[in-house]
A = this chain, B = another copy of it.
Amino acid sequence: MRPEGRSAQQVRPITLTRNYTKHAEGAVLVEFGETKVLCTATIEEGVPRFLKGQGQGWITAEYGMLPRSTHTRNPREAAKGKQGGRTLEIQRLIARSLRAAVDLTQLGEFTITLDCDVLQADGGTRTASITGACVALADALNKLVADGKLKQNPMKCMVAAVSVGIVGGEAVCDLEYVEDSAAETDMNVVMTDDGRMIEVQGTAEGEPFTHEELLSLLALARQGIDTIIKAQKAVLGQ
């Protein structure tokens, strides 16, 4: 039996609140149950050096957890003087995922930075971040078009993510913290709205997993992401 009586394939209640803060070009509070992440999209003119003069744009991401977003306090990375390996890994994943949603050659020489800051963590912060960042990105791109800075919207598709895993021998979708910390296998899947995959990252925390287990996890992920993309489209009025 899962917490809150969820079925194995059920995602937590998904909430996406646009314009949660006022300065950013996109600012979305995403909630996967008790996991809450503030995702902002910032548009800046110019691109990193390796892209200069090619007429295309860039999308990057940064991720952070507020020190007390977790059960016990995590030391502040700014105070420690460096971002940890987990943080870097997650922000690289977010950036790669969102770049897949956009035709960068149609973005013009703009850089969009997606900041995903976890206000409260209860499992699945990276998948919530990708999901929320995609909506913030959509808002930012719409703004570029509305402001006449781009003629057409370079967004190719919606992108969303979910975690799946094997807990107590059963494959379940959208793990919350108590499940995540007990999972034998943990997998994060990022997909587009046509059901193709952008990232699959599966890790055996305990025993190695079989091909059949992998297949059941992928099936759960596809279904969960369908639901999540519906929520994204609803909040964007699509």
What copy number does this chain have within its complex?
A: 6
Q: Which residues of B contact A88 (CB under 8 A)?
A: 84-85, 88-89
Answer yes or no: A49 CB below 8 A from chain B CBs: no
Answer yes or no: A238 CB below 8 A from chain B CBs: no
A23 to B202, CA, bound (A): 28
Q: Is the CB–CB distance between B208 and A198 below 8 Å? A: yes
Q: Is the CB–CB distance between A202 and B200 below 8 Å? A: yes
Chain B minimum-CB-distance residue to A91: B85
Q: A residues near B, CB below 8 A?
A: 21-24, 27, 34, 36, 38, 40, 42, 44, 62, 64, 66-71, 73, 76-89, 91-92, 96, 100, 113, 115, 117, 119-121, 187, 191-192, 194-204, 207-211, 214, 218
Chain B minimum-CB-distance residue to A24: B68
- A-side interface mostly: mixed
**Given known contacts A79-B83, A191-B208, A197-B209, A62 and B70 CB-to-CB distance under 8 angstroms:** no
**Given known contacts A113-B73, A198-B204, A82 and B78 CB-to-CB distance under 8 angstroms:** yes
Could you say which of B22, B71, B82 contacts A23, with CB atoms under 8 Å apart? B71
